[in-house]
Amino acid sequence: MSDWFETKSGLWDMTWAQLDLGVRDASHPCRLVSFSTVSADGLPESRNVVLRKAAADAKFCEVQTDTQSSKIESLKAHPHAALLWWVESLDLQIRMQCGVEILEGPSVDDDWAIVPPSSRVSYGTLPAPGTPIQGALDYEKPPVRERFCVLRCHLEHLDLIHLGRDHRRVAYTQARDWDGQWLSP
């Protein structure tokens, strides 16, 4: 029997299992994801966000944000993102390129309903995130339902690198029917 990292299907399955654990376990390394976009003026931007959903069968992930955050302006100009995770215990790097759909309004009512009250204050910061302020604490954090949105990241390209004794790299795209192509690491 082979190890999970020796086959394309094993790498695919392990990756989605890790992402699922990241959704369910706040201490899992896949809980936080580096989310990179291109700003409206063409500059790269990265920030960490919390993974909220991962659906292997539908090939998407979801994160949540404030509609007034700069990433929304960036995504409206360039509706794509790169997501990056590192699972040290498995020597596994996960890189995704995604088309991003901004979901808001009544379509995200169920998502809002499960956001803990202590976390709802992340959606409604006054002044808006990134606005210059005089002092470090010159802002308020009221929960504002209308400022909550979900970013659904539709998988376009998945690049996995296992950095074990023998390095292995595989890329998956819809063009190859998600079968995967071995790449030089």
**Per-residue pLDDT band at 158 (split at 50, 70, 90):** very high
pLDDT at 40: 85
pLDDT at 104: 97
Computed over every residue of the chain, the mean pLDDT equals: 96
pLDDT tens track for 159-168: 999 999 999 9
C-alpha closest to that of 62 among 51, 72, 70, 73: 51
What's the whole-model pTM score?
0.95
Q: One-letter amino acid identity for 176?
A: R
pLDDT at 76: 96
Residue 156 clears pLDDT 70, i.e. is over it:
yes
pLDDT at 74: 96
Residue 2 clears pLDDT 80, i.e. is over it:
no
pLDDT tens track for 5-24: 999 999 999 999 999 999 99
pLDDT at 128: 94
C-alpha closest to that of 105 among 51, 147, 152, 53: 147
Full set of structural domains in the chain with CATH = 4-124+139-183 (2.30.110.10)
pLDDT tens track for 109-121: 999 999 999 999 9
pLDDT at 1: 60
What are the C-alpha distances in Å from 133 to residues 126, 136, 144?
10, 7, 20
pLDDT tens track for 27-76: 999 999 999 999 988 999 999 999 999 999 999 999 999 999 999 999 99
Q: One-letter amino acid identity for 164?
A: G
Q: Are 141 and 73 in contact (CB under 8 A)?
A: no
